[in-house]
Copies of this chain bind each other. A is one copy, B any other.
């Protein structure tokens, strides 16, 4: 009996010690993770993690501000997927390659979950103005300048910085700013094929000071003097990805350089851009198109002040919530040697281009743009193409509407005539998610395989 008692006691004792060790280890680990016990931020952080933890089968995503069903967030499925967890592929679904929605970068941010999150307090930046009475975060400005110095894609020294709601808002602000200085009507042009918004936006906002007049190449050919002209120069160009310079020259010509795609993701960087008005957007740098954040580097002080005036009258500056988000994203971009996102993006885009090229090379009916290899200041080597878009041409005489041809193959692109080019051309976006790209590839393979 005594032996049994002694044995039981020993078992309990060993068990108790084992439990001690378990708790000690657990608390030490927990202590290591929770260096700081959270208080008021706990709820928001937990809610964000709970929403993100819902599985959408790798083909969808949940958001804090999405729909909820029975208190659970509803998966927003990627194109061509459906069902409550986005696990059903919809086989006859169209491959939609119309939009330049830069979701190819989404996995990068999921890989950087910890560093890219930002907690916004209820009292964050309620005021109309920053401490310096401006609408622009000084800290964010500094980060933008650093990113340019690492990408080596723009000279920022001696330039003023203006924030806007995406490059979209800054394109308009620049047209206003440049046209206000001129004594006569400023004629706004762009060299075909050009981004449709230059025309639709300029037409919509047309004032007594400026008017959209179409193709810059046509103006160059038909006019002796251009008078006051404002030329949109997109470099690399949307839709064809080719680097460009202004077509028009002269003292009464001002160029607005849309450098949305002038990052190592999409093009060789032969030299840092050094123009008088250069516009960038976070949409094509980090992929956060929904944030509506862009910036302009401006040389002339009067143009800069006019752009500030535009931003004041249009909106009283860019949202402080957006500026905080942009700052957090750029902090991640700048981590380490500040080159990771460029490598990630370039590899992805290069791979997509190569796959498309390979398929089209087997075709007798379709061609894509040729982008020659070029020396890149960022990668410090000669590099091949990795453009944002395919600029596909239907070569067969009867295929006058290339978009309709592709539509017959269950592919949606953006019609060439929208870019002031022939309808033999279609722009196909390479910027979307893997699910979108893989389906596009599949449909193109199908299309080419059915030739003759």
Which residues on A are within 8 Å of B, measured CB to CB?
A: 9, 12-13, 16-17, 19-20, 23-24, 26-27, 30, 33-50, 52, 61, 63-67, 76, 99, 101-103, 105-106, 109-110, 112-129, 131, 137-140, 165-166, 168-169, 172, 176, 197, 200-201, 204-208, 283, 287-293, 309-310, 313-325, 327-329, 332
Complex-state Cα separation, A68 to B63, whole angstroms: 32
A208 cross-chain contacts in B, Cβ below 8 A: 206, 208
**B40 x A113 contact (CB < 8 A):** yes
Please pick, from B46, B99, B101, the residue contacting A35 in the complex, using a CB distance under 8 A.
B46
Contact of A315 among B116, B168, B200 (CB under 8 A): B168
A166 touches B316 (CB 8 A): yes
A57 smallest CB distance to B (angstroms): 16
With contacts A106-B123, A289-B127 taken as known, whether A322 is within 8 angstroms of B319 at the C-beta atoms is yes
Q: Are B117 and A113 in touch, CB under 8 angstroms?
A: no
**B residues in contact with A26, CB < 8 Å:** 27
Shortest Cβ-Cβ A-B pairs, 3 listed: A116-B122, A290-B320, A23-B23
CB–CB A206/B205 < 8 A: no
Q: Which of A41, A205, A328 has the most CB of B within 10 A?
A: A41
- Known contacts A38-B45, A168-B314, A206-B208: does B119 contact A66 (CB below 8 Å)? no
Residues A318 and B289 in contact in the complex (CB < 8 Å), given A41-B117, A49-B41, A61-B123? no
- Additional A-B contact list (7), CB under 8 Å, known A16-B20, A42-B45, A43-B115: A34-B42, A38-B49, A40-B114, A63-B125, A67-B138, A76-B131, A117-B121
Contacts of A27 in B (CB 8 A): 23, 26-27
Interface centre among A46, A115, A327 (most CB of B within 10 A): A46
Which of B102, B114, B126, B329 makes the CB contact (< 8 A) with A288? Answer: B126
Residues of chain B within 8 A (CB-CB) of A12 are 13
Q: Smallest CB–CB gap between A205 and chain B, Å?
A: 7
Please name all residues of chain B whose beta carbon is closer than 8 Å to the beta carbon of A206 when the two chains form the complex. 207-208
Q: How far is the CA of A23 from the CA of B45 in the complex (A)?
A: 26
Bound Cα distance A126, B116 (Å): 13
Q: How far is the CA of A128 from the CA of B43 in the complex (A)?
A: 28
CB neighbours (8 Å) of A287 from chain B are 126
What are 22 A-B pairs with beta-carbon distances under 8 A? Answer: A23-B27, A33-B37, A34-B37, A38-B38, A41-B45, A44-B119, A47-B119, A65-B139, A99-B128, A120-B120, A124-B290, A126-B289, A128-B289, A165-B316, A169-B314, A172-B313, A176-B204, A207-B207, A289-B316, A291-B319, A321-B321, A321-B325
Q: Indicate if the CB atoms of A106 and B119 lie closer than 8 Å.
A: no
CB distance from A325 to the nearest CB of B (A): 4
Contact in complex: A42, B37 (CB < 8 Å)? no
Q: Bound state CA distance, A281 and B76, in angstroms?
A: 29
What separation, in Å, do the CA atoms of A102 and B125 have in the docked complex? 11
Are B106 and A315 in contact (CB-based, < 8 A)? no
Most B CB atoms within 10 A — which of A9, A290, A310? A290
Our pick among B17, B30, B127 for the contact of A16 (Cβ within 8 Å) is: B17
Give A339 to B289 CA distance when docked, in angstroms: 36
Shortest C-beta distance, A91 to chain B (Å), equals 21
Task: Give min CB distance, A108 to chain B, whole Å.
Answer: 8
Which of chain B's residues have a CB closer than 8 A to the CB of A46? 35-36, 38, 41
Q: Which of B36, B118, B283, B289 contacts A50 (CB 8 A)?
A: B36
Could you tell me if B49 and A39 are in contact, using CB atoms closer than 8 angstroms? yes
Q: How far is the CA of A430 from the CA of B149 in the complex (A)?
A: 45
Contact (A122, B322) CB under 8 Å given A33-B37, A197-B313, A289-B127: no
- Provide the residues of chain B in CB contact with A309, threshold 8 Å: 204
For A110, what are the chain B residues with a Cβ–Cβ distance below 8 Å? 122-123
Q: Which residues of chain B come closer than 8 Å to A128, judged between CB atoms? A: 99, 101, 283, 289-290
* A40-B118 Cα distance, complex, nearest whole Å: 11
Q: How far is the CA of A283 from the CA of B129 in the complex (A)?
A: 13
Q: Tell me which of B119, B127, B169, B329 contacts A118 (CB under 8 A).
A: B119
